[in-house]
Amino acid sequence: MTKIGIIGAGAMGTGIAQVAATAGHEVYLYDANADALQRAITTLRNTLDMLAQKGKMTESAADTIFRRFHFVEKKLDSLRDCGLIIEAIIENLDVKKGLFDQLQEVIAPDCMLATNTSSLSVTSIASACREPQRVLGIHFFNPAPLMKLVEIIPAIQTNGKIVEQAQAIIQSWNKTTVIAKDTPGFIVNRVARPFYGEALRIYEEGIADIATIDWAMKEVGGFKMGPFELMDFIGHDVNYTVTETIFQAFFYDPRYKPSFSQKRLVEAGYLGKKSGRGFYDYNENVIKPRPNEDAVLCETIFERIGVMLINEAADAVFWKVATKEDIDLAMTLGVNYPKGLLKWADEWGIDTIVKTLDDLYHVYHEDRYRCSPLLRKMAKVKETFY
C-alpha cells in the first residue's frame, strides 16, 4: 500500500489521516506544532476507541489502525517514502507555496503532491514546484471520515496519469470523487454561495428574518439546515473568508459579493456555535426566535434562493467547471442538498427559472441577477439537462 503523508494536524488533516489509515495505509501525520500533534494523537485514539465501543469495528482492528500512524513533528524528510502527500494547513497561498517548495527538496521523485485547499488556485500552488505536473487538488469535506465526496482538481500543469492515480487511491478509500476545473471554489464552494448570499440579501432587505428564512428552506425546500443555521455551524470566520476569497478571485463579480451583516459578526467575534453566538444565540435559557410560517412568503424565499442556486450550477456547466452529473453529485454528497440542482431545474422548468431571474434583474438592475447564457439558450430551444 502507498505510504500517505498528511501535513497539518488540525481537524481536517486528522480526519484525512483517519480515512487513509482505515483503508490500510501507513500514514505519516506531520505538524510543526507539538501541541496540535498531541491533540491529533488523542483525537485519533479516542475516535477509534469510540468506534470500537459502538461496534463499528473490533478493538483489535482499532489498535491495528492506530499502529499505522506515525506522528512527525520536526523533519519533513520523514515523509520521503510517501507516494502521496496531502497538505491540510492554513488557507494562505504564500504559506502553501512555501511548503511545497520545501517538500520538493525532500520527497521521492514519484511522490504525488496534493493540496486540500477549498478555494485557492491549485495552479498557483503547483507553480512553486520544479515538477508542477505531479501537483493536484484533493479537496475533502469536513468531517472527512463521514463525508463521501472528494473533489479532484487538476492544475493546468497536472499530468493526466497523476489525476487517474490519485482518483483511484481516493476511491479505494470508499469515497466518491468528482473532477473540477481549477476555478475559484471548484464545484461545491462556488455553487453553494447563493445559499448563503441570497439568504443574507433577503434578510438585509427586511423581507424576512433569519428564523423565517431558515424555516422556509427546511420546511418548503427540504434542506437539512437553513442557511443561517449552517453559517453558524460552519463558523463565520470560515464561511465569510471563503466568500471573500471567491469574490476577489472572480474579479469582484457582484454575484459573490460578501455581506456586511456577516462581516460585522466576524468583527464582533460572534462566530457561531463555537463562540456561543452568531446569527442565533446559543447560550442557555435564550429563546430561539419563532419563524413566520406564512406559506406565500416562505415559498417566495425558497424560490428566490433556489433559482440563484440553479443559475450558479448552470453557469458552472456553461464554463466547463464540471459535468452536469458531477455538479449534481457534488451538491447532494458534499453539502447534503435534497436534490441535484440541475434535476431541480428540469422539474421547475427552464422557462420559469429564466423568467424569475429576469424579474429579479428588472427590479434590482444588478449583475448579480444575470441569467446564465446556458439557461437562456436552453429555454429558447425547450431543452432540459436530463
User: What does each C-alpha distance from 139 to 101, 154, 169, 198, 346 come to in angstroms?
Assistant: 20, 11, 14, 25, 29
Q: What domains can you pick out in the chain, each with its CATH number?
A: 4-179 (3.40.50.720), 190-381 (1.10.1040.50)
**Residue 77: which residues within 8 A CB-CB, separation 6 or more?**
106
Confidence of residue 290 (pLDDT cuts 50, 70, 90): very high
pLDDT of 186 reads 97
Can you tell me the mean pLDDT for 218-232? Answer: 97
User: What does each C-alpha distance from 17 to 23, 66, 88, 105, 165 come to in angstroms?
Assistant: 10, 10, 10, 23, 18
pLDDT of 224 reads 96
pLDDT of 75 reads 85
225 pLDDT higher than 90:
yes
Residue 93 burial by Cβ neighbours in a 10 Å radius (0-12, 13-18, 19+):
middle
- Overall pTM surpassing 0.85 (yes/no): yes
pLDDT in tens, 68-121: 999 998 789 999 999 999 999 999 999 999 999 999 999 998 999 999 999 899
Percent of the chain clearing pLDDT 90 (strictly above)? 97
pLDDT in tens, 343-357: 999 999 999 999 999
pLDDT of 273 reads 96
pLDDT of 1 reads 75
Alpha-carbon distance of 172 to 152, in angstroms, equals 14
Q: Shortest CA distance to 172 belongs to which of 3, 330, 24, 328?
A: 24
Strand pairing report for 4-7 and 69-72: unpaired
pLDDT in tens, 196-223: 999 999 999 999 999 999 999 999 999 9
pLDDT of 43 reads 97
Query: Could you tell me the three cell numbers for 258?
Result: 460578501
Strand pairing report for 84-87 and 112-115: parallel
pLDDT in tens, 117-142: 998 999 999 999 999 999 999 999 99
Can you tell me the mean pLDDT for 221-241? Answer: 96
Q: What does the mean pLDDT of the chain come to?
A: 96
359 pLDDT higher than 90:
yes
Active site residues: 118, 139, 151, 189
Strand pairing report for 84-87 and 4-7: parallel
Strand pairing report for 135-140 and 112-115: parallel
Can you tell me the mean pLDDT for 283-296? Answer: 94
